[in-house]
Structure 1
Amino acid sequence: MKPTKGFADPDVQSKNYYRQERTCGNFHRAFTLRAMISPDQIKAKFKNGVLLVEIPRPEEEKPRQISVDIE
């Protein structure tokens, strides 16, 4: 993911978020996503000075059974 730069407004309030960050002044934020994330499913909105990035959770891998023939 590309690093993000910008200016943050400390007066914005929100609820029900997994991660929420507030900072005043210029900022730079970068993080690494797990390989299971599909980049084409990431959505971002910028409204009223707030950048909202939505990253859907990956589906959990289901366990699988493998038959092994024993001689």
Structure 2
Amino acid sequence: MQTIDGRQWANRDDLIASSGYSRTTIADLWRDREANGHPQPRTIGRVMHWDLEEWTRWFEQHHQQTPARIEGRPQG
């Protein structure tokens, strides 16, 4: 996790840890970004990172709208 100007930027591994979803599910969400509105990344050290606050807000909203369509989601 990188902090820039007081904001946390998460790479794909950080998103997996934060969300509890599998690498495949996170990759599928990114693949379908044009349809689902997935936030755009910022490249830091040649690695894509997402503003964690923005991504979490998007993810929660996306999850509420399409919970049954997201595979690999944690049970509970």
Q: State TM-score, norm by structure 1.
A: 0.28
Return the structure number with greater strand share: 1
Q: Report 1 or 2 for greater relative contact order, CA contacts < 8 Å, sequence distance ≥ 6.
A: 2
